[in-house]
Amino acid sequence: MDVDCLIDYGLPNEYIELLRERGISKLNPVQRMAVSKGLFNGKNLVVAAPTASGKTLIGELGLVKNIYNGGMGVYLVPLRALASEKFEELSTLKKIGFKIGISTGDYDLPAEHLGRNDLVVATYERFDSLLRLKPRWINRIKCLVIDELHMINDPERGPIIEMIIARILGRDIQVIGLSATIGNPHVLAKWIRAELVDVSWRPVKLVEGYYNRRRGVIFYNDGRVERVSYRVGNSALNIAIQSILNDLQVLVFVHNRRRAEEWAENIIGYLGLYKHLVDKAKLKELLDKLKDSPSKLEREKIGRLISNGVAYHHAGLSSIARKVVEEAFRDHIVRVVFATPTLAAGVNLPARRVLVSIKRYDPRSSHYTNIPVFEYKQMAGRAGRPQYDDLGEAIIYDAQNDREGRKYIYNAPEPVTSKLSGERSLRIHVLALVSSNKIMRYDELLRIFKNTLYYETTRDHIFLENGIKKIIGDLSEWGMVNVREEYLEATRLGIITSITYLDPLSVHRYLNSIDGKPGELYYLHILASTPDYLRSRPYISERIVDEYEDEALLLAEEGIIPKPPLDDEYEYYSWLQSYVQAKMLHDWINEVDEDSIMRRYGVGPGDIYSARDTASWIAAALSRVEATLGNEDRSRELDILSKRLEYGIKEDAIELVELEGVGRVRARTLIDNGIRSLRDLANTPLERLLRLPGFGPKLVKSIKEQLKRKGY
């Protein structure tokens, strides 16, 4: 189907010309089926198709049609990094006059300003928070695209997607769900009352294979057999080296961060003269970008690896280092990346050949277990670069035997299932519904929950009702909901808890734990003990945690941190872990440098920033809770703590870091030189600022312009 045909469906010439500018002259089989199934007639759609099959354009076409008809569109993704990527991608629509916005944080802000846009890109969590806050523009939405719909299988994000859909089903909003290949797309389509587009087509042929270690060969599903002649390391390294020497770029998925780093180091010695073939100008450009990494250890390690055509990629890297690695791989400076599977669900980084591990260590059983077929397919889907490769190869490098390898290649992915029935999900979303309506009938609450995938697939109304009644009992006991016959009414505490996007249990535990006049370490220990922090805390090894046990017990005895629960071994160890997390955060807000924190706690810069972001959000949210309860002193202390966590600074630097370009290091440089406030900074001559380390002409000019705008 030529894109010129889109004019028959109500799309204007200017948009069709834009598609041609982007190199899109025809719709592919997946896109054609979406059109035939009612994409332009307002039908809900579930599109299940492989990676790189053009699903995003289907969502875009639906958005454009609805926006031209006077509506507003929203595009949802699971991760902030993906939101930024989609925002950039969809920003080409600015050429035809569309206004594009993005929103990924600030859960407690209604963001009325987003209503000035035609299209908003947001994370699931942010849009869920907006449904609670009800900005006026919400009623203008006519098309909602949910990317990565298979994330409904995720215990954390799945319930959020379910409740977003449950709340909008029945409204005059077209829902377009985009998903990788899954085992039960027809079930999702039935639930969303949608037409199903289930097509296996992909632009680059995918060939799958597995490595038989005993025989030293790779068996492909197209009948080919490839002998692996290298025997220098493990299977992944042997195949990777052979691939690189055959001029193939390789992405190796590893389930362990430290192993990814070790393998990247190990392979350097086998790449021969490759480093001499690297584009020196491009390499210098990448290394210059890497200088912005706050960690000297990271800069040196990643810089050395990239210079040798190698890299690793995982959540422990800073965002700067991750972007540099991704750019280096796209530009062929790097020939092989060892990555954890988070890359498969995140950034679009295809490779000619992808090596996949199907075994993951399970700490609960102390054994390696096989991953689901669906996870393998997600990683395998990264093989093959559109417009560059005729085919992509996905190779399982750790299959135990031929039967196991063939199982992953030929078996269908598992069905996705609802994860809504857990207590955490229920209490968050029950409170969200009641608080966003202030007063709500119980039967109306139940009706919305009957719009969920959970109810669609189980029809277990007794379990659902009993679960909701238990949650309402808890919320009532915690002072968040009042029950008045068949009506539910959110209290001020319940409303602020929901608005700030906190788990009600986090607020309840905080209020039960806080006492007297806590110090900053006491606050940090409570923050690190909340369910909201626990679900995403960085891993710190047991060995390191155990080193701090005597110190933690002494501080608890002195009342500097909460006392431990001595009657429960699991709760006691969780308390000890929370202390070590709190201590790491305490180092951060007292301006200990990143490299020292990394060495002390065995974490990466990405872990520090993730912990910082989570703790800063919880502190800011609890500050609002305390303000709502009339506790102004604690509210102020938590607000200050939130800012210190955000920037990694002592309290005296809060005013200075408000300026763009003045981070924790430069703020301390200013203070050490007697410049303690914005007024001091405004009165400091340019010549003196230029003499300070880290203050170049461009930054100093920017600082002076910012100060002028602030009235100094």
3-class SS string, 149-217: HHHHHCCCCHHHHHHHHHHHCCCCCEEEEEECCCCCHHHHHHHHCCEEEECCCCCCEEEEEEEECCCCE
**Secondary structure of residue 313 in the 3-state scheme:** strand
**Secondary structure of residue 351 in the 3-state scheme:** strand
For residue range 400-415, list pLDDT tens digits in order. 999 999 999 999 999 9
Instruction: Report residues of the chain scoring pLDDT below 70.
Output: 272-277, 344-347
> Rounded to the nearest 10 degrees, how much is the dihedral formed by the CA atoms of 692, 695, 696, 697?
-90
**Separation of alpha carbons 310 and 329, rounded Å:** 9
CA nearest to 254, candidates 367, 357, 383, 398: 357
**Secondary structure of residue 362 in the 3-state scheme:** strand
CA nearest to 606, candidates 343, 305, 253: 343
The set of residues, in sequence order, having a beta carbon less than 8 Å from that of 241 and lying 6+ positions away, is 230, 232, 233, 267, 270, 271
Q: Are strands 336-339 and 250-253 parallel, antiparallel or unpaired?
A: parallel
For residue range 19-38, list pLDDT tens digits in order. 999 999 999 999 999 999 99
| 504-648 topology per CATH | Sec63 N-terminal domain-like fold (1.10.3380)
CATH class, range 423-499 = mainly alpha
Contact, 540 vs 513, CB < 8 A?
A: no
Q: Which CATH number fits domain 656-709: 3.30.110.40, 1.10.150.20, 1.10.1040.10, 1.10.40.30?
A: 1.10.150.20
Return the pLDDT at 105: 79
The set of residues, in sequence order, having a beta carbon less than 8 Å from that of 377 and lying 6+ positions away, is 180, 181, 413
Listed in order, strand segments (DSSP E) in 21-152 are 45-48, 72-77, 100-103, 119-123, 141-146
Domains 205-410 and 504-648 share a fold: no
Q: What is the 3-state secondary structure (H, E, C) of 434-465?
A: HHHHCEEEHHHHHHHHCCCHHHHHHCCHHHHH
Return the pLDDT at 385: 86
**Separation of alpha carbons 633 and 268, rounded Å:** 56
At the second CATH level, the architecture of 3-198 is 3-Layer(aba) Sandwich (3.40)
What is the token pair recorded at 144? 């909602």
At the second CATH level, the architecture of 205-410 is 3-Layer(aba) Sandwich (3.40)
Q: What is the DSSP-derived secondary structure letter of residue 279?
A: -
Per-domain residue ranges for the chain?
3-198, 205-410, 423-499, 504-648, 656-709
CA nearest to 74, candidates 47, 101, 93, 48: 101
